[in-house]
A and B are shown apart, each in its own frame.
Chain A
Amino acid sequence: MNNAQFIVRKVAVLGAGVMGAQIAAHMVNANIETILFELPAEADDPNASVVKAVEKLKKHEPAPLSVKAKAGFIQAANYDQHLEQLKTCDVVIEAIAERMDWKQALYEKVAPFLGEQTIFASNTSGLSIDQLALAFPEALRHRFCGVHFFNPPRYMHLVELIPCAHSDALMLDNLESFLVTYLGKGVIRAKDTPNFIANRIGVFSLLATMHHGQSFGLGFDEVDALTGTLIGRPKSATFRTADVVGLDVLAHVIHTMRDTLKDDDWHAYFDTPDWLRGLIDEGAFGQKTKRGVYQKVGKEIQVLNLADNSYRVSRGEANDELKQQLKYSKPADKIAVMRNSQHMHGQFLWAVHRDLFHYCAVQLEHIADNARDLDLALRWGFGWEHGPFEIWQNSGWKRVADWINEDIAAGKCMRDTPLPSWVTKISEQEVAAVHTPHGSFAPASGLLHKRSALPVYRRQLYPDLLIGEDATYGETIFETDAVRMWHTGDKTAILSFKSKMHTIGKDVLNGIQDGLEEAEKNWKALVIWQTEPPFSVGANLKQATERPKPPQVEKREPAPPSVFEKFFKQFKKSAQATVLKAARELDMADALMARKLAEVEVMIAQFQQISQALRYSMIPTVAAVDGMALGGGCEFIMHCDHTVATMETYIGLVEAGVGLLPAGGGCKELAFRAAQTAVENDPFPQLKKYYQTVAMAELAKSAEQAKEFGFLRPADTIIMNRFELLHAAKLQALALAESGYRPPLRQRAIPVAGNTGAATIESMLVNMHEGGFISDHDFLIGKKIAFVMCGGDLTPGSLVDEEWFLELERAAFMELLATEKTQARIEHTLRTGKPLRN
């Protein structure tokens, strides 16, 4: 290995099974040339197995491909004809079945064909990397290691990197850097022990949960109600996760632990319970066979009831009092709440956490370098909000350690193995913590280990922070209840929302306006970035729909003085006129409602002003987007000068779902973009596609798809790792600023599709309406959106300015909002989180 810049031109994935194919998919998502190998098929086409696997990728849920078209970039190959091609691959990932003998046989076969610098890595989930290495000639072993992806590999952040005894240090660094930036993964270095870190702890946690669930006599659904979001784990909790993973896979992993971890003090628990074996014998593997711990009958979810070995309705609920206590207690008090609870649910949760802490403490030194690696592995591989050590530390290190010791002494723990001495040492420290701003505890040295110094991590201005680490973001420029504007010591200002889910209400709008003014005065560029996803779930619907109170109790407070007073004055007249007109037309001459609606229209007008300001301010604005960006969030993105989005960005104009339409410039912008691509001055063909995504409230399921949908522009930047987002966005902003940035000239001649376009769309709606696919109200919404996006009742090809569209947006939004059915939809969605069809 030399020190030259490490470049991966091409990757080969060996094995087109579920994991191999999905890893290949993620490679092409990341624009990496990828060859996918499988055994030659006994069909006319020897690559038939790969072709079939790639076809499957297109239908797989959740989608392994960012867009279906990417499937065509996976090159099919087989071991009989194409091994020569391995020479051109810089990285080869083996992902065949978990059989030591098969893997070793394959290694022997491919070894002669590997390029001189090729890195070869196994995606084994638990086999010994050192033992696998033996299949390679000694001269090749320094280029071998394990890379353990988690399923589904596109979505799970974790990749465990496991060196063998011979692995070259620089090779590992190079591979890690590649995985982090180009595949967007969170890399944890694991020791070569069975099941590595995440599965070792995760599966132990599951076994402990099963054990305690059984001894407390809890149903599977009850256990899931307790071990999901209530304790910061995914909604699928314990058994539903097992169903998703596959009960057969789970049993395999447990058996690996049973067969290979004979020295583990908890070894007695590494076994599949009778009921699990029973299900597997019956072929009930969980989700993939439609039956497992759970099954779905019609719309009803049923759960296995061990008492009579039959299925019953799943209705497990956590004890209400405990639920309330956990909900309203501080994070630091939650473990104490469980332990002190008189209810068996609390006792169960304490037992589960206690034994997990116990096990992690004992095993840490054997499986991981430090406590941070273990916690991050569980967060990234199992979707836990916090790792075990974080929770322990946050609940008072010493206090919890004492409780565990008490329970060990009382014989309540699964094992009586004493806690390792380092636990006590930490308890005795002034700051009893394994995670500190200076690093995390490493049992081997007894020291705090800092985060990796690899250059790739310099891109992560703010890595995934653990409780106990320093979580301050730069220097504040100004801060309100709704937003914070800040910087990191250079001339780029960063604006972050503080609202829940980063919704956009009047206060956030004010914040952006103030931010833009400040940025124009004192900064080179503005980046909108959130400290965590989502980017924004859109406008704060509550403000728009809270019904006015009856007159006798209504007390109207004067509007707080704000920079928007001028907007208030400017728009009040026109707003009220429009609303009253709309209300009259819709038989809604309810003066009260009209007044409330007038306020909303002022807010909508503000919204549009902000969108336009993002576009036309004198400094470059860059949206740094990760996670969901809905409605108003999407509209802001569309109006920034540039967007840097992570691949896992989900953008949509979903207003139609609640009976509204995009009115923050979204319709305008899509109509404008369609006009830009118009062939022979006819924006309609493109506009029709944009219309469908808006009318159907479609959500782009990746940044790549957001480009297809027109929410992102072709030149917008897509990156793979969300922790590199701010870094990339700042550089893009700076590049714009340093390239003599000027806002675009205002659009004053946008050709519209006009009344013919609207009529053509209406013909589609008429058929859907007549066929009973859409309701009367859907029909109305669809027509309104068409009317706005087509520029209203105009001769096709007429030229309009942006304000023309914005007025149409506002008027249509208000007309829809004034309808009872739209109001019912919004209220329903706010109450239940689900859409209402009416």
Chain B
Amino acid sequence: MVKQIQDAYIVAAVRTPVGKAPRGMFKHVRPDDMLVHVLKSVMELCEGVDPAAVDDVIAGCAMPEAEQGINVARVALLLAGLPNSVPGMTVNRFCASGLQSVAIAADRIRLGEADIIIAGGTESMSMVPMMGNKVSMNPAMFKHDENVAIAFGMGMTAEKVAEQWKVDREAQDEFALTSHQRAQAAIESGEFRQEIVPYTIDEKYPDLKTHQVREVSVARDTDEGPRADTSLAVLAKLKPVFAAHGSVTAGNSSQMSDGAGAVMLMSESAMRRFNLSPLGKFVGYSVAGVPPEIMGVGPIKAIPKVLEQTGVKSDDLDWIELNEAFAAQSLAVIRELGLDREKVNPLGGAIALGHPLGATGSIRVATLLHGLRRHKMKYGMVTMCIGSGMGAAGIFEAL
């Protein structure tokens, strides 16, 4: 049996600002270009690292097709100027893809099979819609009742969770409002400055009067999702989207988004070789399955599993990045596991900050590590529920 022979450290963690989809600031920005940008950025931050020494690039993507298809990790690393000797792999575990990529990278290092891996994730929900460009269901799903839930939309599963865990509309809206308020405050106080690498959007438009091409170049450095103007009254007016008499609205669900993130992982020897210091250490990661119709409660299974695995106690966690797929499932997880509301998403969550599916994991690793360090905290967790009924949770230690 192969055992861990060394630790995996994170030496750089960056992300793009997150744009709204499908009509936000990155609507015309390709997801592979966003990935190129964050790959270049981590390489620049790790000055002196020999690009040829990178053992692998692993990128998460939840709908890996079209603009983010044909193994987007390999395409992006080549376009980022890494030598063609560096391999690349795209992984898909839906909303946990960007965390899964970090976990795979860490495990390869911990086993001693690699020393330097860039993990990340990218997603353009503007360009590749939820469920992909061509939706095609297997008829077998409908042959047996127990499989029908595979076909449930995510919103429908949130309704089921809200019903089963008795999370009412008011609690969901209040949770959503808090997310916006925290995110807004975090932006204003510059909490995201360390993790965000500004993205310059270059676009070309026709000027029909002069028949010239007009080039527009805008640098974006701030998340687009948070709303300063929302309130409980505004949220209460929204109609349920997924069930006629439901409680899940566009206001208390995560936003559709575009964005990318990248994390540089290294062994101790590699850090020493290139004279780099760590942001933190990878502690452990778990995934678990739950019934597809209540996919939102995945973290209820995944979190205890990773705590047991790593020996970290729940109380030791100073900061929890719980992906807010829906307020309903977030509250179900928080209540069921007795999590401290103040420690969960102190800078706001996906309801305000957005959720570019396969990129979210990497993006929130960056948020967590920089946040833990800024606030002189030690242990933190990134966790999320996953479509079709799973949960993932990863623990990190700030150094």
Which chain A residues have a beta carbon within 8 Å of chain B's beta carbons? 684-685, 755-756, 758-760, 762-763, 766-767, 770-773, 793
Contact = CB atoms under 8 A, between A and B. Distances in A.
Given A759-B141, A767-B153, 5 more contacts: A685-B134, A759-B139, A763-B135, A763-B151, A767-B152
Contacts of B152: 766-767, 770
A767 B242 contact: yes
A685 B142 CA distance: 21
Contacts of B137: 756, 759-760, 762-763
B17 to A, nearest CB: 26
A772 B244 CA distance: 5
23 contacts: A685-B134, A756-B137, A756-B138, A756-B139, A758-B139, A759-B137, A759-B138, A759-B142, A760-B136, A760-B137, A762-B137, A763-B141, A763-B151, A766-B148, A766-B151, A767-B151, A767-B152, A767-B153, A770-B152, A771-B243, A771-B244, A772-B243, A793-B139
B272 interface: no
Given A755-B139, A756-B139, A759-B141, A771 B151 contact: no
Interface string B149-174: 00111001001000000000000000
A771 B248 CA distance: 11
Contacts of A760: 135-137
B248 to A, nearest CB: 10
Nearest to B140: A759
Would you list the 5 A-B pairs with minimal beta carbon distance, nearest first? A763-B151, A771-B243, A772-B244, A759-B139, A759-B137
A793 B143 CA distance: 12
Nearest to B240: A771
B246 interface: yes
B32 to A, nearest CB: 24
Interface residues of B, number: 19
B245 interface: yes
B152 to A, nearest CB: 6
Interface string B94-116: 00000000000000000000000
Contacts of A763: 135, 137, 141, 151
Given A763-B151, A766-B151, A771 B242 contact: yes
Contacts, number: 49
B239 to A, nearest CB: 12
B373 to A, nearest CB: 43
A769 to B, nearest CB: 10
Contacts of B156: 767, 770-771
B246 A771 contact: yes
Contacts of A762: 137, 142, 151
A273 B152 CA distance: 61
Contacts of A771: 156, 159, 242-244, 246
**Which of B135, B139, B243: most chain A CB closer than 10 A?**
B139
A771 B243 CA distance: 4
A682 to B, nearest CB: 8
A625 to B, nearest CB: 35
A494 to B, nearest CB: 47
A560 B156 CA distance: 55
Contacts of B136: 684, 756, 759-760
A755 B134 CA distance: 15
A773 B139 CA distance: 23
Contact of B243 (A755, A770, A793): A770
A770 B151 CA distance: 11
Nearest to B141: A759
A684 B138 CA distance: 14
Nearest to A766: B151
A772 B156 CA distance: 11
**Which of A760, A771, A772, A793: most chain B CB closer than 10 A?**
A771
Contacts of A773: 243-244
Contacts of B139: 755-756, 758-759, 793
A478 to B, nearest CB: 51
Contacts of A684: 136
A762 B135 CA distance: 12
Interface string B229-268: 0000000000000111110000000000000000000000
Interface string B282-304: 00000000000000000000000
Nearest to B133: A685
A763 B136 CA distance: 9
**Which of B136, B138, B245: most chain A CB closer than 10 A?**
B136
A755 B136 CA distance: 10
Nearest to B153: A767
A760 B139 CA distance: 8
Nearest to A756: B136
Contacts of A766: 142, 148, 151-152
A684 B245 CA distance: 31
Contacts of B148: 766
A201 to B, nearest CB: 47
A773 B246 CA distance: 11
Nearest to B242: A771
A301 to B, nearest CB: 25
B146 to A, nearest CB: 13
Interface string B115-143: 00000000000000000001111110110
**Which of B137, B142, B152, B159: most chain A CB closer than 10 A?**
B137
A685 B132 CA distance: 13
B275 to A, nearest CB: 53
B151 A772 contact: no
A771 B159 CA distance: 8
A760 B134 CA distance: 10
Contacts of B242: 767, 771
